[in-house]
């Protein structure tokens, strides 16, 4: 049977003598052979155990974990599965950090000072994104949408005072109570449209133009997707009702603006149209283009209004 002194094993395995002594001190790996001259040496079994330690360290296990894995009758595969998930999350964290550093380098250049406030914000947003991944958002939203959600939540901290927040929340509670009280009424009725308008006014004041895409994603994937609603006192029935009410409100508003094409000046109609698009879509261009396509097929839209839309979308600020 082959045996090795500590220096010989160190040379064979490329593990330093100091490390082998440390493993001995913590009772992770001790030379198992006691020689006649009093010296100790490592056996082939010890070499195998050292190779296992090297492999487990490569996979990111801590020495305390390795000691448990090698000294107890445990299911190694279960531990490997947990460690694989841990390494994936760690790799994602490192990649995110790398991308953040590249963005900072690109934005600031070598001749500018490091924007520490921006860096702190990016780190905070990243940590909040990690927390969101454990909620409904991690199941329903894309990675980019969760980043936007984290940025939005961070910005909210400075957007409202404590008193403002209470007033804002009370306004929402009152709106929800009215919605629930009117579920037997037609959502496209006058009262439904009025509540749809109040809801969109509230939502737009919360999200603003910057987070219009996030606003849509949370409503479509969160509320309508069944992930959230109960905590806002909105049942699936109420969400469906409110969705129709908001759609009716915007649809009426679209027709009201386009019906003025033949009676109002181009400037007056254009101002109302751009305000409408901003309320509906914020800075999102794609849904604006979809609205244009739908209007071109809508029999309720006059030919004059369709011609006006073509010219406006071709030369206006929303034509990109």
Structural domain contains residue 320: no
**pTM, full prediction:** 0.63
Structural domain contains residue 152: yes
Single residue among 156, 176, 193 that ends a domain in this structure: 156
Question: Residue 180 sits in which domain range?
Answer: 160-315
- Those residues with Cβ within 8 angstroms of residue 47's Cβ, 6 or more apart along the chain or in another chain: 4, 9, 12, 13
**Domain match, 232 and 310 both:** yes
**Domain match, 251 and 122 both:** no
Single residue among 156, 191, 216 that ends a domain in this structure: 156
Single residue among 156, 179, 212 that ends a domain in this structure: 156
- On whether the CB atoms of residues 226 and 243 are closer than 8 A, the answer is no
Angle (CA) 249-144-313 rounded to 5° is 45
**Domain match, 90 and 217 both:** no
Structural domain contains residue 1: no
Structural domain contains residue 101: yes
**Domain match, 97 and 190 both:** no
**Domain match, 190 and 270 both:** yes
Number of domains observed in the structure of the chain? 3
Over its length of 320 residues, how does the chain's per-residue pLDDT go in tens digits?
789 999 999 999 999 999 999 999 999 999 999 888 888 999 999 999 999 999 888 888 889 888 888 876 777 787 788 788 778 877 877 787 788 778 777 777 666 676 777 777 777 777 788 788 888 988 888 888 988 999 898 888 888 888 888 998 999 999 999 999 999 999 999 999 999 999 999 999 999 888 988 999 999 999 999 999 888 889 999 999 999 999 999 999 999 999 999 999 999 999 999 999 988 988 788 888 899 999 999 999 999 999 999 998 776 554 44
């Amino acid at each position: 049977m082959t045996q090795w002194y500590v220096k010989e094993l160190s040379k064979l395995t490329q593990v330093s003598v100091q490390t082998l002594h440390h493993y001995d001190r913590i009772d992770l790996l001790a030379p198992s052979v006691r020689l006649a001259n009093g010296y100790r040496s490592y056996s082939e079994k010890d070499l195998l155990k050292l190779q296992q330690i090297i492999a487990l360290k490569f996979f990111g296990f801590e020495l305390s974990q390795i000691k448990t894995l090698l000294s107890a009758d445990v299911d190694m595969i279960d531990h490997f599965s947990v460690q694989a998930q841990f390494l994936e999350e760690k790799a994602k964290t490192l990649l995110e950090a790398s991308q953040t550093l590249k963005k900072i380098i690109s934005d600031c250049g070598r001749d500018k000072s490091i924007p520490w406030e921006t860096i702190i914000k990016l780190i905070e947003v990243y940590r909040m994104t990690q927390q969101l991944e454990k909620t409904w958002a991690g199941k329903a939203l894309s990675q980019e949408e969760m980043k936007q959600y984290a940025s939005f939540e961070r910005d909210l901290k400075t957007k409202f005072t404590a008193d403002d927040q209470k007033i804002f929340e009370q306004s929402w509670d009152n709106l929800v109570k009215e919605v629930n009280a009117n579920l037997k009424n037609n959502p496209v009725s006058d009262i439904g449209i009025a509540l749809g308008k109040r809801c969109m006014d509230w939502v737009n004041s919360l999200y603003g133009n910057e987070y219009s895409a996030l606003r849509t994603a949370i409503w479509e994937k969160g509320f309508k997707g069944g992930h959230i609603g109960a905590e806002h006192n909105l049942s699936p029935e109420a969400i469906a009702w409110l969705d129709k009410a908001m759609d009716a409100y915007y649809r009426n508003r679209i027709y009201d603006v386009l019906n003025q094409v033949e009676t109002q000046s181009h400037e007056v109609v254009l101002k109302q149209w751009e305000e409408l698009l901003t309320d509906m879509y914020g800075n999102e261009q794609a849904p604006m283009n979809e609205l244009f396509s739908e209007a071109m097929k809508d029999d309720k839209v006059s030919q004059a209004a369709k011609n006006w839309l073509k010219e406006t979308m071709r030369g206006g600020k929303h034509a990109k």
